[in-house]
Structures are given as structure tokens and as C-alpha cells.
Structure 1
Amino acid sequence: MNVFAASSYLLCFILMYSYGQLLPLTSDFIKQGYVSESMDEGVFAVHTLEIKSLIECALRCGMNLLCNAVDFCFLDGLYTCRFRYGHANLSNTITQCEAYENTASKDCPDGLFLRAQGICKINTDECQNDPCLNGATCTNTPGSFNCTCDAGWTGIVCDEVVSNRALNKPAKQSSTYTWSGVTYSSNLAVDGNNGTDFVVDKCSHTATGENSPWWRVDLQAVYFIKSVRIFNRGMDKYGIDTSDRLRDVTITVGLTESDVNTPCGVFAGPGTLSQVVDIDCSSVPKGRFVKISKTTKILTLCEVEVFGYSA
């Protein structure tokens, strides 16, 4: 062995024993950006180089100023440089090592999450990039995110339109109001017109003297119900405002017409002029019939939309 090679080997041994520590040969080295262990001196990262020569490894690990805290060179098919957290990696760019830890048998530190292969990885907040669309709410999860879609939207990022399952479907109500020769029947709430002028656009309306009125739609198929949208009455052409009648509303779902009692959600109210009320069914109940009921008199619905997916 020539003097240069011997010096290089010696350099590696010096590096291996620097700080008085030697990594066991059985340690599990992982790809760039991961570490095998965390010691008192700090978190260590590894970078596998495309190097097949111990001499070159010693030169590049030990003499590269960007790698000023390297401990040793180690052969694991290719040679690996190991260096301390906060120092540059060897990818020809000056970047910090990421604080990863091999921790298959213990919990990850704060700010990290455990991957399937038993490696802790820095948990970034994906919601900072606003991935959820159309008014959806983003919730950060370990390594990913979830979008809670507004009514009418679905998909991973809420970019897919959900069909209104109630449109032009058969509807019934507990009683019907008639005024000036116009019958304000239940089907007016599913006719596709979401205008809120009671006189011009026409809305469903129960009889004025009835207590605890209800309205019900037959979706003609079974769905998992995600949400119900109600268009409340607005100011009519006569300047009458009765929007506050929409209060104490309960939404229920059922598989049969005689048993529509599975809770979906509630709206306490009172409603406001032309208010669009979205009621999320957090339990995603399964049913064919959707019922809207209230404990006070008069139920007026300018339009009802039901969103869900096939059961």
C-alpha cells in the first residue's frame, strides 16, 4: 500500500473515532436525509455517495469543507459519509441536514411523524399551500392533509362537483299554504330555482296554523348523505321579511318513508334574508328519504339541495 493510500485509510480511522464514538457495523443506513441514531452530541444524518473507493471517500468526507463535522467513512455497498445535524450535505449544494431519526420502536419527537418503514420524518404543514379548493377546510395530518369540502363539492381537494340528489325528486310536506290562488306545494323546494323571493320565485310553505311542520323528499335511491343545503326566504316584492321563521330546524334521514329518524344535523337559527344554510351530516347517514322538520310554526323552503354518494 502506498503512502497516500495508507494516509487515506488512517484519515478514515481518525474520522471513525472522532468524538470517541464508533457506529456499529450493523447500523441501518438509509438514503440521504435520514439518520441512524441520535446521540448526546446531536442528531446525525447520512449521505450515500456514488463512491467505490475508500480513498476517495476519505478525501471527500474528510477534506470537504462543507462536511466539517464528518465522523467516518463506512462501506455499505457504497461508501457513506456521516455528519452532524446542521452541516451541509454532499449533494454539491449547501443545505442543512434534515432532523430525521430511525425510531421504529419509539415515538417520534415533536414536529416529526413516523413513516411506515419506521423512520421519523419532519412533518411539514401542507395546509400552508392552500391545497383545498372551493372554500374547503384543510386539516394537516402526519405526512399529508385532509380537505373537508363545502356542500356540493367532493374529491381529494374538493374540485369535483357533487350532484344535487334532491333535484326534481318527489316531495311531501305536512300541510300546504295557499295564498292569492297560488299553492305553495312541497315540490317548489326541489324545482331547481334557488331564488328567494317568495312571491316571484315561489317556495314551499306549510299552513300557518300548524305546529311542528315538516317537509320530506324521496331521493328514489339510497345514498350516504353528506350535507343538506337550504335556501331561506328573502325579501319579497312587497317588502315583507319573515326570514327569521327558519329556526329550530332538524334534518333526519331514513331508508323508508315511515322511519326517517336518523339524525343528520340541526340549524338553530334564526335565519336571515336569503341565507344559504349548509348543514353537514357528520355521521354520513344512509338513507333514501331526507326530512326537514321544526318545532315552531310555518316551514318555508325556497330550495333544498341534498348532497351524497351512492350506497
Structure 2
Amino acid sequence: MKYRHLGASGLKISEITFGNWLTHGGQLADDAATACVHAAQDAGITTFDTADMYANTAAETVLGHALKGQRRESLEIFTKAYFPVGPGGPNDSGLSRKHLMESIDGSLRRLGMDYVDLYQAHRWDNATPVEETMVAFADIVRSGKALYIGVSEWNAEQLRAGAALAKELRIPFVSNQPQYSALWRPIEAEVVPASRELGISQIVWSPVAQGVLTGKYLPGRSAPEGSRARDESVGGDLNNRWMRDEVLERVQLLAPIAAELSLTMAQLAVAWVLQNDNVAAAIIGASRPEQVRENAAASGVVIPAELMARIDDALGEVVERNPRRIDAESPDRS
């Protein structure tokens, strides 16, 4: 396992990070979730990403139990706040001071920890002044409940606004967590250049495009039983975005490139995002320990420039590059 600095900070994290969106507290029994967490640790993964809204807070509890008894100093724990939790009352979501102060305490209680290494704004909140949010973050950092702050799916302008306030408040704003894969690249045009300028890294989610880049979905065929595309609760966005024959046909052209590198297609997809030097980590999820081991093997892989160009040629026009798609990831709370 290789490790990278998070932003311009001194903090190092495992470049393969284990995330528990959709799995812990939902799809998996707790013992299976714990087995995946332990497989991640065995593979050298030290960084774990969760959020209070995953399984409506249950995912944090599952992760905390799975890591109970581990040396806290050897782990980097990330969580997030913004989306509705609890009964969904008027202050149960967003980035207000009230919600953030209550959310950090709830997350720490569920994780069974005194602090998190990174506390993240899960989306931009257009209903709360960014000054209010950043002052709340500053107070959370100064209280010792979080060591660093980050955000998720903020555009370049929003990152600059947050970074300016963080500098004024003297708190370490180090990361953005966007969706990023060989198929989904809206961050490349504006977010990545701004982040390099600001000393912010990307911690990317869905590097395998919700499983599409593993090659398991074939053009002209139904999705396999048990796959995410067959799950009505989570498959809607996947089916709308990727499950078109023109995309699936292009993805199959990556198989010989993966073979040339002696990689599975999933490993190729994870390794691809890590070729971007502004990416500190790729978040992987798993329902079985062998999936963890497979994806962790992408750490340290170098894809030659000529093969990176062949990947671009293979995927062609099905790649999404429009930077305006980032704004669509943040719900309107006005």
C-alpha cells in the first residue's frame, strides 16, 4: 500500500481508502462488514471514510464497532455532514452551525472515538452562509473533535471561497471529495486546477463508476442478479447514467488494456484515477473481503502514458467532462 499527503498538509493517508456507503448498516450483515474492514487493514489500508447519513447513521456505528480495539493513532477516520439524518426535521440537514455542532457529536458517539481526522461538508449548502459554516468548522477543529476539514462536490468557485475563509480562520482545509472515474471527469477542467492552487487534494468516490468499469455489465444483456443495477433502492442513477449499450460497448474495449498490465478491469479503473497527482485517495467499497484485496492491489500501479491515451481513445465521447455537472450534485435547500 502506498500513502499520499492530503492536500498541502503533513497528513498521510492510504491511497486506497475504504468507504462504507451503501454497504454498512444496509446491504451487509455486521459480521460481513467487519470482515471487509479487517481485510482492508490487512491490505495496508489505514484510511476509512463514512458519513452520518449512510444508512441514516447506522454505517458510522458499524464502522466504529469494526475498528473497536484498534490503535487509534494508526487510523485516519473521515466522516461527513449535510444530508438529512434522524426524522428529517428543519434543522436535521445542511451546514448550519446548529446542525454541524450536533452532527459532529453524534458522529463521534457512534464511531466510539474522541476525534475524526477529517470532517467534511458533504455538499455545498446554498441556504447557509459559507462564513457560518467555516466558523463552525473552525470551532470544531479548535475543540479537538476534528483535525482537518474538507468538503465534497464543491465547484472551483466554492472551493476558493471556503479556502479564503479557512486561511483567515487559520484552520487546515485540505480536501474535496468528488465523483471521479475514467467515465466521469467534470473535475478536471476547473476543480483540479483550483485545488492545486489552494493546496487541496481530491479524495474520489466511485472510481469504478458504480461497477460499470469492472466490465461485469455487458451490452445487450440484463444486469447480473445481485448487482447494484438490479437493486431498485440504489440502481436508478446507475441505470440512467451508465447502463446504455454505447457506454458498455466502450467499456469492454478496456479489457485488453487491463490484460496488458496484468490487472483486472476494476484494478485498472482504480489505478486510473490515481494517475492524477491531485488525487490523494480512491475510495473503494466492498461486500466481500476478496473485493477489498482485489482493489487494494491497484495501489502503486503506474499506467504508461501510451496506455492512458488508449483508454481515452477507447472510451471516446461517452466520457462526461462538463464541469457544470458538479453543481447538480448539491441539492437546492433555499
Q: TM-score, normalised by structure 1?
A: 0.20
Higher helix share: 2
Q: TM-score, normalised by structure 2?
A: 0.19
Q: Of the two structures, which has the highest relative contact order with CA contacts closer than 8 Å and spacing of 6 or more?
A: 2
